[in-house]
Amino acid sequence: MNRWLWELRRLQWRLGTFGLVALLLLGGAAMIALAEIVPLRRDIAARKADLDARAAKLTQPPPSSPDEAIAPVSAEQRYFVFLHSLHAIAAKNGLTIPQVTYQLAAQDKDSPLRRYIVEATFTSRYLPLRSFVFEMRTLPGIRWERVTISRPNIGATDLEVRLQCAFVVEASK
């Protein structure tokens, strides 16, 4: 114990008052780092991992209701879920689609796939149209066949859009 007291007095003599204050400040900073920063980093890493996992789940849009997603459904029911998702995505992006044509495409008798054609005509601005197309690309089974975008005159901000897409689904046996 005497040795430690002697070393502390010697350290005080060598460092001086400002050196001791600096040493105490460094010690306090180290304690704060251990008590605050290290747990905060762990918490941020855990939250980032949770956020990444939740973002990965959101790449596929949810179906219209959980019952239709869990239960085995027919091709027509999956097509109606697709139509509901189409209109929900359009409404989310502020688009109204007043004219839509739905039809079942001609198919082979022995083919297990059903192909539905959806044609829509509507007006939109560029950014809502772009986000609508981006979100529609995440729907499974959709294939864009034709998109026609025109502007009546160069000064108009609204675009006239005509799209044709196909929804392909496997028919139940």
pLDDT of res. 162: 92
How many domains is the chain partitioned into structurally? 2
CATH number of the domain enclosing 110: 3.30.70.60
pLDDT of residue 68: 42
Residue position matching structure tokens 């070393």 = 7
Q: Look up the domain containing 55 and give its range.
A: 1-60
pLDDT, tens only, 26-45: 999 999 888 888 888 899 99
67 located within any domain: no
The answer to whether 119 touches 171, Cβ cutoff 8 Å, is no
pLDDT of residue 173: 56
Residue ending a domain, choose from 60, 84, 103: 60
128 falls within a domain: yes
Query: In this predicted structure, what is the pLDDT of residue 49?
Result: 92
Task: Quick: pLDDT tens for 82-95.
Answer: 888 888 888 888 88
pLDDT at 67: 36
Compute the C-alpha angle 94/131/104, nearest 5°: 85
Confidence of residue 164 (pLDDT cuts 50, 70, 90): very high
Same-domain check for residues 160 and 90: yes
In a domain, 149, yes or no: yes
- For residue range 42-82, list pLDDT tens digits in order: 999 999 999 888 887 776 555 544 334 445 567 778 888 88
Q: Are residues 87 and 40 in the same domain?
A: no
Average of per-residue pLDDT across 144-148: 89
Cβ 116 vs Cβ 107: under 8 Å: no
CA–CA distances in Å: residue 173 to residues 40, 77, 105, 114, 170: 55, 14, 18, 12, 9
Q: Is residue 93 part of a domain?
A: yes
